[in-house]
Structure 1
């Protein structure tokens, strides 16, 4: 084989060797250890829900009414907080792959072409000598035993990855809380506006009756003026209700991550009554399943395994090594003859003195473990406090809603009776206006109680970490 053909062959081998690694350059897509999350930015599974949100299918809202479930889907897929958590999961998943790599053999190779030219100058004259050589090196190294340091480091990152997943669930539940609260606020504001429109219609009829009575001589002018004053007040309250609906819609659109001109929601059924379970049940549920506690426990397990890893790193390790050399070792001068060399052996690495570095790593790891335990205890106390407070608010709002519903029913019947009496000339305008005012107050109390009940049950569900899609409407 000619020298020219030999150079071409080696160049082709070099290109093929390097292109094999360059093909693996997009590490985000190349995952031979199968550690990257399989559904990144494609679908999300809600806490307490077996279904998945496919974000690629989320379109613009448009003019169609949006259900509560659709609003949650849209908000989660558009939430920057959720996307940021996915990025953190990716980072931690990559760390898992990095810590798993030492469990596999390490292979390195080197290809080189050497041109060697030597010039000499003596009293007898000058001379030169030149030579060319192609060298190759291939080495394999594999750690046989290390007292569990590699597996401990792998467990550390696996538990941190689990904590990252659970933290994502906590962010998702906060997004759900914002959306559901905004959705209910829009529903309450819309219902209140409809009630104000009915009040305007009722007050307008009262004014008409008062004017007819005044025209016929059976009523006085002051009664008409009082009825007109009451109508003007109700018109002002209608304008305020319209403004409240616009504010609630703006808050909901912000929670959804959209800035469309308007948003229509589907009707929400009246909040159901009924008793809640015991507060001990909700506290126990939170301690077992709340994402913040699950994440904190995963971090404690990771910190504990980190101590094991540092302990193992300070102990001896045993490696297997095998090397192949063609035409000399790296750094040697060229040889006039072709040579091939193969070495096989094991090496025992014994850490004798590292300046007490391992000792201080161990001290830091133990301190980190104690810190995580303290943070878990603090988180448990905070969650217990939040659950007890949410439970008390839910019970209170549940009882208040039942009473407000009875109050509204009585006020509506009283208004119907007063309107009939006033139309028949039995009652005066003062009685009608007083009854009308009582009805308006009862409506406001009812809608406020309904909002409090929905909010209270939602906050109770969020406080125990169980805001999945099936139970998000009416947490039990």
Structure 2
């Protein structure tokens, strides 16, 4: 079962956050929550052939997208501290001298004096109609949303890493296929040249064979360029320089379509529970509803207590020491309809967030279903591609044998050779489609981290 929701809940409730000067309440998380239970801690790039899970772990630590999202989490956690500060009193101390100068027409009483004063004031809000509680609830909901957005960004990084890795694997497979195409085309060229030298074939056969070989070699050169580009793309995706050389371990076997066994309905239900964007959308709704309560509280009476003490002196002579304490009841009466429109605005935002949450839920279901169909089609296409490569290989070998024996046309050999090259490309593409479709479906459900753990 995917671990996203428990991990997010643990991240929110974790009490072991160190208290610092900037975080006296210990609210701001320091350690990023893992995307899945098997994620390795951040560290140096392992000095061994890297598996796909290794690449994912490196990307989650080094890709800037996760750093951006994590900064949002920390900022949202600080927002809780700002909201909770309203439950504590405020204390202000004012100290300073004042220079007084008196000049009169008659000169009587003229002079200068220095007045020094110190004022200590304490203010504490006792009751505000639930405004503080609503603002704390809103800030807490925004932290949940930020954590879910971080999880969504992290899963996006995982998918990008998988896509870049699959692209590199596909280009490697294309290179292998093109090497085989070049070897077969060279055999056909040598066979046509030998038959031309023996006087049993025309120069046209040899020229066509040379053309076919050159085309195969050109495709191989282009594929090797694409291979270098895809390797650079993978390096950048995991947060390394594009020129970094990655030593990759052998890839895991192709998926067998295990996700399809649950059925589309069950997978959509899982997505509604597990997708981080849906978690974020529901948290945004809760935050907007709390903002409505906060706006409503602003129109209610509030009660506060204040106390102050003031010391004053003129020059070096102590003059007075006065203090006061008071209880204040504040009743909003009229603010030019500002409060009414503020409440209307907050309610409209709550309605907007609810609509966005429903839109996100619907899009999540569509994403799961379309990726479910894509994986099913990709697996069926792979089976057909495997049959195609077997028949194309046998046909090409037969055509080459017939031409060698002098009972077949070179045009038939070229057609069979071209069909074999096409079948090899289709097999590579089908395998690439299966790998990507499996990752996309896992991402659509919200459990791509667990799909990566299955390969550890």
Kindly state the Cα deviation for residue 167 of structure 1 after the two structures are TM-superposed. Answer: 1.5
Native 8 Å contact 1:156 1:305 kept in 2: yes
Match of 2:307 among 308, 322, 327: 322
**Cα distance change, pair 273–436 in 1 and its aligned pair in 2 (3 A):** farther
Q: 1:32 aligns with which of 24, 36, 46?
A: 24
Equivalent pair of 1:114/1:334 in contact (CA under 8 Å): no
Q: How far off its partner does 1:58 sit?
A: 4.8
Aligned partners of 2:307 and 2:21: how far apart in 1? Answer: 31
Instruction: Write the distance in 2 (CA, Å) between the matches of 1:189 and 1:474.
Output: 24
Unaligned runs of 5+ in 1: 1-26
**TM-score normalised by structure 2 residue count:** 0.82
Q: Paired residue for 2:294?
A: 309
For the pair 1:471 / 2:455, whether they are aligned, the reply is no
Query: Aligned pair in 2 of structure 1 residues 269, 215: CA closer, same or farther (>3 Å)?
Result: farther
Q: Give the whole-Å Cα distance in 1 for the aligned partners of 2:272 and 2:317.
A: 75
Tell me what 1:5 maps to. Answer: none
| Structure 1 residue 435 displacement after superposition | 3.8
Q: Which residue of 2 aligns with 1:239?
A: 221
2:383 maps to 402
Task: Tell me the residue number matched to 2:56.
Answer: 72
Q: 2:438 aligns with which of 443, 457, 464?
A: 457
Unmatched segments (≥5 aa) in structure 2 = 1-18
Q: 1:176 aligns with which of 131, 151, 158?
A: 158
Counterpart residue number, 1:287: 272
Q: CA deviation at 1:118?
A: 5.0
Q: CA deviation at 1:104?
A: 0.8
Q: Does 1:274 align with 2:257?
A: yes
8 Å contact from structure 1 (residues 45, 53) kept in 2? no
2:451 is paired with a residue of what secondary structure? coil
Question: What is the aligned-residue RMSD (CA, Å)?
Answer: 3.4
- Equivalent residue for 2:3? none
User: 2:52·2:452 contact (CA, 8 Å) conserved in 1?
Assistant: no
2:144 corresponds to 1:159:
no
Question: 1:124-163 CA distances to partner (integer Å, 9 max, x unpaired)?
Answer: x745566655432222221122222111111111211221
Distance 2:108 2:375 in 1: 102
Q: Which TM-score applies when normalising by structure 1?
A: 0.79
Q: Return the alpha-carbon distance in structure 1 between the equivalents of residues 187 and 318 of structure 2.
A: 116
- Distance change >3 Å, CA 121–CA 439, structure 1 → 2: closer
Equivalents in 1 of 2:85, 2:130: separation in Å? 14
Which position in structure 1 is the counterpart of 2:66?
A: 82
Of residues 447-456 and 162-171 in structure 1, the stretch that sits farther from structure 2 once superposed is 162-171
Whether contact under 8 Å (2:299, 2:339) holds in the other structure is: yes
CA shift for structure 1 position 69: 3.4
Alignment of 1:68-467 (within 5 A): 68-114=52-98, 118=102, 122=106, 126-128=108-110, 134-215=116-197, 223-256=205-238, 258-261=240-243, 263-264=245-246, 266=248, 267-275=250-258, 276=260, 277-327=262-312, 337-416=318-397, 429=410, 432-467=413-448
Q: 1:326 to 1:278 in 2, by over 3 A?
A: same
The C-alpha deviation readout for 1:354-383, integer Å capped at 9, x for no partner, is: 222222211111111111111112222222
Q: Partners in 1 of 2:78 and 2:61 — Cα distance?
A: 23
Larger Rg computed on CA atoms: 1
- Write out per-residue CA displacement over residues 100-140 of structure 1, whole angstroms, 9 at most, x where no aligned residue: 11111111112234555656665xx7455666554322222
Distance 1:52 1:30, change over 3 A: farther
The answer on whether the counterparts of 1:153 and 1:309 sit within 8 Å (CA) in structure 2 is yes
